[in-house]
A and B are shown apart, each in its own frame.
Chain A
Amino acid sequence: MKRYLRDFLIISVITLVSCFLLSQKHYSDDFIIYKTIDTHYKKVAWNITLLNNRSDVLNGSTIFLGSSIVQGGINDSILSAAGIHAVNMGVPHNANELGLYFQKRVLAKSKPKKIVYLKGKIPYKGLHKLTPLLYTSSDLFSIGQTANLDYIHFVFKKVKLTFEYYFYLMDPHKPSKDQTSFLAQTHGHVNTNNIIQETTYNNILTQKGASVSDESFNLYLNGYLYQRENGNSKFAQQLKIWKRKLVELYFGINFMFNQDNQEKFIEMAIEDCKARKIDVQKLYIPILIDVGNNTGYKRSNFRPTSSDEGIDLIQLEELDFLKPLDFWEDRDHLNHKGSAEFTKAIVPLLQ
């Protein structure tokens, strides 16, 4: 038995150390563009192309960073026409380390006037799906990430990406993904013109949210774990709640949900801006529930966080003008028409 356990341990340790070494690999911008251009995250390719080819437009600009709510909610061409030179660098499924990544790259090449972050991104979020593409494991550590489940997952994903990167470098006939017209567009506002149906709208406004709410940190109310575990039996759900409580007891909540790290990333971004004397603000972009009258649906993007302190919040008090259904793409996103109205409304607050 001892021999077996020893061999098993040696192979496991060698594997993990090798994984960690492979996760130290930086990828070229070409590869990042190649990996994202044909996907939901093609905005990342646009951001990088802009940084490499037209970084001059960033000088003196107001840069918007955040999730798809920013990407589709802020029409930077309208802002620019109104005299506020703006660049929308929002990327779907934002997590703060992505904002910090683009901020670092922006600040390395230019001096923007202001950086505006999205207020109220749901705090339980782990790392962004694209973080392994943009960070190495030690880079991530250097911005405050701690060793937790998300980090392990990150390292594992880097292993695959690194191999894929080597294959990419070896392949002399890289498939061309011609998206030049998208990459050449001058503004970063990307969304669709889908309009939600009245039936869906009514359904959302009467939705009561998740029913399981007995966890100490109340994550079920956010719907994240609820959605993931909804198909499990009640017994399995309960076991998973106990398991989380046990892990939380020993390792702390940050071991499982990366919440504190996410706050650290944004705090670091804010500090960096302040150190360079660049104005930094947060902007609240409403979601559909903010313009309805439903109190049963528990999801709210507006949550106080420690990084709110000491920075200005841009927030519209009156949101009734966003009530029409044809302003919404889905329950979390304004569509093209809605974002135009919202952007016009915030012009005075940005000046």
Chain B
Amino acid sequence: MIFNSFDFAVFIPIVFFLYWYVTNTNLKAQNLLIVLASYVFYGWWDYRFLSLIAFSSIVDYSIGRTMFSTEKKSTRKLLLITSLVVNLGLLGFFKYYNFFVDNFESAFSFLGYKFEGYTLKIILPVGISFYTFQTLSYTIDVYRKKLEPTKDFVAFLAFVSFFPQLVAGPIERATNLLPQFFKKRSFSYESAVLGTRQILWGLFKKVVIADQCAIYVNSIFDNSADHGGVVLLLGAILFAFQIYGDFSGYSDIAIGVARLFGFKLMQNFAFPYFSRDIAEFWRRWHISLSTWFRDYLYIPLGGSRVGPYKKIRNTFIIFLVSGFWHGANWTFIIWGGLNALYFLPLLLSQNNRKNLDTVAENSVLPNVREIGQMLLTFGLTIIAWIFFRAENLSHAFSYLKNIFLKSNTLEITIPFTLYVFIFAFLLIEWIGRRDQFAIEHLDIKIGRPFRWAFYIILCFCIIGFVDNQQDFIYFQF
């Protein structure tokens, strides 16, 4: 089930009603309802893969309990390894098996040997990368004794499968989300309004910005050999807006829906395109994944408190793994590597934590220097996005080459309205850049009549464009 569908529009009021009117007096019943709703939500796409989520949940619940009951270091380590092997094994099989077989075949053939592996017709379960990382955070935190394992199996199932963020994040830490299943939740008008506002903004980003950009991005990337440099550059810029609108829109909807049920999820995007350098961009883009890698991979490797050689090594590891997490394709790995190359000069010159505040923190507009920094950072991300979007490496390189070398041949007509929407979107995001999401404090900024008129205009836009529905890009990861 996807958020911008008729099915979800029917599903959510039913669950909302049952949650606040039927099960509201009993926390356990509310948690059970969340589990059932989450399994229906996921099973709507393919019920067979529910067994994977259930299996992961059972394994990590049991490992967490067993780990807690022993102080023996070797046993605890063995249990952690078991959890890692099971979870990453499933992820590896469903997501990376064919990639490795194909690449082994190519490598052997390059060396003059013949290797015939068996590729399988594997369907990638939606959201497997997200919930795998979420359950791993639980086991790792229990191992590190940062978290006491739960005895409540239903609450644990609810934590793993919590439907708002199950298929595309934010990837929640057990330390943040799990305790919320044990607190009594009461309905809050302010929180529900905030949640609804965030859902509305997320839908706008997805339906109006991302899906409209997608039409032209798909056309340009699919026929990139026929287009000239200007059109190709435009295609890459539109893809930057598409992927941001798509993914941050999903996160906004997820966080908003969770708020409706009394949960607070972590912020996943913080206006990344207003970043002044790549390090700031990565503090603002897909925050839940970046911090996951930071806490569970980068810091255990030594982080940046090591010598220059290890710093470089750690940076490459984290970015390459992050790229590979996105998909079993060399394009994602190169995308990760490119970001590492962008990041390294900042790290080595100790400038990676220079821009910790918000751009133009105390003024309405940025100064010339900040504009230049933002444009440069945006430009660098666009080059990287080409690899992210391309079908394969040769497509990416030819796309990149043609931007600079090819003169216009095939034109594309992009409606004036799309530019208007993108401009309005950027303007609103700029105004709200200090908040959790662009229209978070709309109630403070404008009075009720204008605020409601704004909501209605957003609804019009969403209603008008909902016809052109595209899948969320991050479902494939």
Min distance, Cβ A79 to any Cβ of chain B, angstroms = 37
Contact A4 B193 (CB under 8 A): yes
Contact A4 B192 (CB under 8 A): yes
Taking the complex as formed, is B465 at the interface, i.e. its CB lies under 8 A from any CB of chain A?
yes
Which of B45, B455, B466, B467 sits near A236, CB closer than 8 Å?
B45
Known contacts A4-B193, A156-B463, A233-B47; A167 and B456 CB within 8 A of each other:
no
Q: For the complex, what is the distance from the CA of A157 to the CA of B43, rounded to whole Å?
A: 30
* A-chain residues with CB within 8 Å of residue B465 when the two chains form the complex: 160
* B-chain residues with CB within 8 Å of residue A19 when the two chains form the complex: 460, 463
Contact B196 A235 (CB under 8 A): no
Contact B464 A156 (CB under 8 A): yes
Taking the complex as formed, is A15 at the interface, i.e. its CB lies under 8 A from any CB of chain B?
yes
Contact B455 A11 (CB under 8 A): yes
Interface of B is mostly: helix
* A-chain residues with CB within 8 Å of residue B466 when the two chains form the complex: 156
Contact with B along A35-61 (1 / 0, CB 8 A): 000000000000000000000000000
Taking the complex as formed, is A217 at the interface, i.e. its CB lies under 8 A from any CB of chain B?
no
* B-chain residues with CB within 8 Å of residue A22 when the two chains form the complex: 460
Contact B467 A11 (CB under 8 A): no
Contact with A along B316-360 (1 / 0, CB 8 A): 000000000000000000000000000000000000000000000
* A-chain residues with CB within 8 Å of residue B413 when the two chains form the complex: 175
Contact B463 A159 (CB under 8 A): yes
Contact B189 A4 (CB under 8 A): yes
Contact with A along B161-181 (1 / 0, CB 8 A): 000000000000000000000
Which of chain B's residues has its CB closest to A17's CB? B456
* A-chain residues with CB within 8 Å of residue B20 when the two chains form the complex: 1
Contact B187 A15 (CB under 8 A): no
Which of chain B's residues has its CB closest to A233's CB? B46
Taking the complex as formed, is A171 at the interface, i.e. its CB lies under 8 A from any CB of chain B?
yes
* B-chain residues with CB within 8 Å of residue A156 when the two chains form the complex: 463-464, 466-467
Taking the complex as formed, is A239 at the interface, i.e. its CB lies under 8 A from any CB of chain B?
yes
* B-chain residues with CB within 8 Å of residue A10 when the two chains form the complex: 452
* A-chain residues with CB within 8 Å of residue B187 when the two chains form the complex: 1, 4
Known contacts A8-B196, A175-B413, A233-B48; A18 and B43 CB within 8 A of each other:
no
Taking the complex as formed, is A302 at the interface, i.e. its CB lies under 8 A from any CB of chain B?
no
Known contacts A7-B193, A236-B44; A18 and B460 CB within 8 A of each other:
yes
Contact with A along B37-54 (1 / 0, CB 8 A): 000000111111000000
Q: For the complex, what is the distance from the CA of A167 to the CA of B35, rounded to whole Å?
A: 47
Min distance, Cβ B300 to any Cβ of chain A, angstroms = 39
Contact A235 B43 (CB under 8 A): yes
Taking the complex as formed, is A249 at the interface, i.e. its CB lies under 8 A from any CB of chain B?
no
Taking the complex as formed, is B230 at the interface, i.e. its CB lies under 8 A from any CB of chain A?
no
Contact with A along B384-427 (1 / 0, CB 8 A): 00000000000000000000000000000101110010000000
Taking the complex as formed, is B12 at the interface, i.e. its CB lies under 8 A from any CB of chain A?
no
Min distance, Cβ A31 to any Cβ of chain B, angstroms = 13
Q: Which 8 A-B pairs have the closest CB atoms?
A: A160-B464, A235-B47, A15-B459, A233-B46, A159-B464, A156-B463, A4-B192, A1-B187
Besides the known contacts A10-B452, A163-B417, A236-B44, 19 further A-B residue pairs in the complex with CB atoms under 8 A apart: A1-B187, A3-B189, A4-B189, A11-B452, A11-B456, A11-B459, A15-B456, A18-B460, A156-B464, A156-B467, A159-B460, A161-B464, A164-B417, A167-B417, A233-B43, A233-B46, A233-B48, A235-B43, A235-B47
In the complex, 11 of the A-B residue pairs with CB atoms within 8 angstroms, ordered by the A residue number, are A1-B187, A4-B189, A4-B192, A11-B455, A15-B460, A159-B464, A160-B467, A161-B464, A164-B415, A167-B417, A236-B46
Identify the A interface with B (CB < 8 A): 1, 3-4, 7-8, 10-11, 14-15, 18-19, 22, 153, 156-157, 159-161, 163-164, 167, 171, 175, 233, 235-236, 239
Identify the B interface with A (CB < 8 A): 20, 43-48, 187, 189, 192-193, 196, 413, 415-417, 420, 452, 455-456, 459-460, 463-467
